[in-house]
Chain A
Amino acid sequence: MNPIESLRIAWRSIKGHKLRSTLTTLGVIIGIAAVITFVTLGAGLQEGIIGDISPDDQRNVYVWSAPPENANQGPLSGAQPVFTQQDAAAISNLSGVEDAYVYSPVPAQGVTYAGQTLPRQDGIIATGPGYLDESDLRDGRQFQRGAREVVVNPAMASLFDSNVTLGSNLTITVVGGQQVTATVVGITTDSESYSPFEGFGASPRLYLPADPYYERIAQGATERARYISLVAEAPTKNADDIERVKSVTNEYLSSDRSDASGPAEQGGLTFFLKTSTELLGQLESVLSLLQNFIVGIAAISLLVGAIGIANIMLVSVTERTREIGIMKAVGAQRRDVLGLFIVEAVILGLLGAILGTLLGLGAGYAGAQFIGIPWVFPSTYAAIAIVVGILVGVLAGLYPAWNASRTDPIDALRYE
């Protein structure tokens, strides 16, 4: 029997039971839609985070010092303040290193502007001018070393009742109650994070020159200020250049010449040198774990869907016993009947997969728009969904179809 004829006849019996067919495919639709939605969102999230790393950041090596057992945790996990400004200056003079600067969150209590004080414990970052580039700024310029200047991001700027603009004066209260003032000289393009040290995602932040703020105030003038981390920039994002920066930086930090080597050795700390791509890898593994979990749940939903199809096919075979008898009486072979019912189940599975994929793409798109992450078309998963739909149909249809093909025409024709 011609496969097109099987399709035609099977399609007709599906159309003959519209409501039943719809309900049957619902299990598959939901399963597939769930996978596609979450895969789309996961991919979008990943894409969004990767998009956060500007090409400029891709040549950065992020350096911190922590106990060796913190190796597989996120950036700055267990990090101790061991680096000094002298270390940063020395590293920036090493051959192969374009620039190097310190990075440390300032322990703060609040920020005051125009008489309004808002409590802010984090998001206040002391670093070097190299941390932000021209392209990162929407208005104004980067702060200068040694000046009482600050760069804010738009989220921070709009935090107060009256908007912070260029030239505004902010008062920052650091831990211990001491207050310092700074003039806003720049506003960043967006409120996303500008390095993995800041964490991922948008939040209000302000960027201060490490000298004078961290150097003289936060740490107190008595002791030499120690920073929690360093950023060393390679001239290009070329892997060889980055490797070179890593090796010379590590070599310097481990030697007696560096200020960091002493406390690091004392505390039994290891230096970690990572690129943003490497740091992202850790995050991706968390994301993919989450994704696998959702795919697992969806697989259960698909199993339920398959059982639904098998169940309805069994009912359908019983209902159509007489039709099977008629077909056999007029010359239908066993394999013709087998084919008809399998094709019917496959159509149901495939239909569920196609509708589920469309629904999932739509829901994923809506979700991505809502959360504000880029929408990524999950082409591989869409293809897998279609194949899974067909497989579900074949598996669910196999037993009912086999049952149908074995129907004795004499009994079937007598069946009421």
Chain B
Amino acid sequence: MSGSSNSEAAVTLEDVRKTYQVGEPVHALDGVSLEIPRGSYTAVMGPSGSGKSTLMNLIGCLDTPTEGSVVVNDQDVTTIGDRKRTKIRGEEIGFVFQTFNLMPRLNARENVALPMVFRGVDRTERREHAADVLDSVGLGDRLGHLPNELSGGQRQRVAIARALVNDPAILLADEPTGNLDTDTGAQIMGLFEDLYNRGNTILMVTHERDIAEHAERIIHLLDGEIEEIEELSGVGV
């Protein structure tokens, strides 16, 4: 995807620890080392409190580790300031949330164009590109609809289009089917597979085994440590 890169990994974590001081120190992540290759499809599973969210926040440049380093698309995001980290977040990370998190007063096209607003892309280009990306997720005919005029599956498609619009190094999906019925969830998983086949790097957090099995491999987290990395034979079983 990102042509300027030279390493094989989209994201690299090296001995990452995250400690919260809540009376006694809590180790949300306790020495995690991980490499997410470009173009790979990875699922993260684990019980609640295992550190899934912390891992997502660190890779998503929303948080910084207490120790260790996080490298996103060859840029170490551990030591840089808030402004640079925000810039990298906007350009290299595409978030897909369980609750969609669309701006309620912006229509589908404007929601998708929003990340480009903060990058300073001009309006005409934004509108065209947003329409193209929406078209590629199958919503070419819903450009002017507000989120509350769309179904859950359509909203998640808008969210995915928004995540893709800046051509990020990695797509971070946090329980993307958690708020959808089984059929719609299956369609969204189909879309992720498409995106994977088109060369996108995907990291998805889920607690459902059958959803996780769409990925190439599953990282099992337990108590802030990697318990097991399970390689799956085929994608999209």
Binding site for B on A (CB under 8 A): 1-2, 5, 9, 12-13, 16, 322-323, 325-334, 336, 409-410, 413
Nearest Cβ on chain B to A10's Cβ, whole angstroms: 11
User: Could you list 18 A-B pairs, sorted by A, with CB under 8 Å?
Assistant: A5-B117, A322-B101, A325-B101, A326-B101, A327-B118, A329-B62, A329-B89, A329-B101, A330-B90, A331-B86, A331-B91, A331-B118, A333-B83, A409-B62, A410-B57, A410-B62, A413-B97, A413-B101
Q: A12 with B105: in contact, given A329-B62, A413-B97 (CB under 8 Å)?
A: yes
> A5 to chain B: which residues have CB within 8 Å?
117
> Which residues of chain B from 78 to 109 have a CB within 8 Å of any chain A CB?
82-83, 86-87, 89-91, 95, 97, 101-106
Can you name the residue of chain B whose Cβ is closest to the Cβ of A323? B103
Whether the Cβ atoms of B86 and A326 lie closer than 8 Å is no
> B91 to chain A: which residues have CB within 8 Å?
331
Nearest Cβ on chain B to A199's Cβ, whole angstroms: 62
Q: A330 with B120: in contact, given A322-B101, A410-B57, A410-B63 (CB under 8 Å)?
A: no
B65, CB-defined interface residue at 8 Å: no
> B95 to chain A: which residues have CB within 8 Å?
329-330
Can you name the residue of chain B whose Cβ is closest to the Cβ of A5? B117
Whether the Cβ atoms of A331 and B105 lie closer than 8 Å is no
**What is the predominant secondary structure among interface residues of chain A facing chain B?**
helix
Whether the Cβ atoms of A13 and B105 lie closer than 8 Å is yes
Chain B 209-237 per-residue mask, 1 if CB under 8 angstroms from chain A, else 0: 00000000000000000000000000000
Binding site for A on B (CB under 8 A): 57, 60, 62-63, 82-83, 86-87, 89-91, 95, 97, 101-106, 114-115, 117-120, 162, 166
Whether the Cβ atoms of A332 and B118 lie closer than 8 Å is yes
> A13 to chain B: which residues have CB within 8 Å?
105
Q: A16 with B57: in contact, given A1-B117, A331-B86, A333-B86 (CB under 8 Å)?
A: no
> CB < 8 Å: which of B86, B97, B102, B104 contacts A328?
B86
> B57 to chain A: which residues have CB within 8 Å?
410
Whether the Cβ atoms of B114 and A330 lie closer than 8 Å is yes
> B103 to chain A: which residues have CB within 8 Å?
323, 326-327
> A323 to chain B: which residues have CB within 8 Å?
103-104
> B118 to chain A: which residues have CB within 8 Å?
1, 327, 330-333, 336
**Interchain CA distance A331-B167 in the complex, whole Å:** 13
> A334 to chain B: which residues have CB within 8 Å?
82-83, 86
Whether the Cβ atoms of B162 and A1 lie closer than 8 Å is no
> B166 to chain A: which residues have CB within 8 Å?
331
> A332 to chain B: which residues have CB within 8 Å?
86, 90, 118
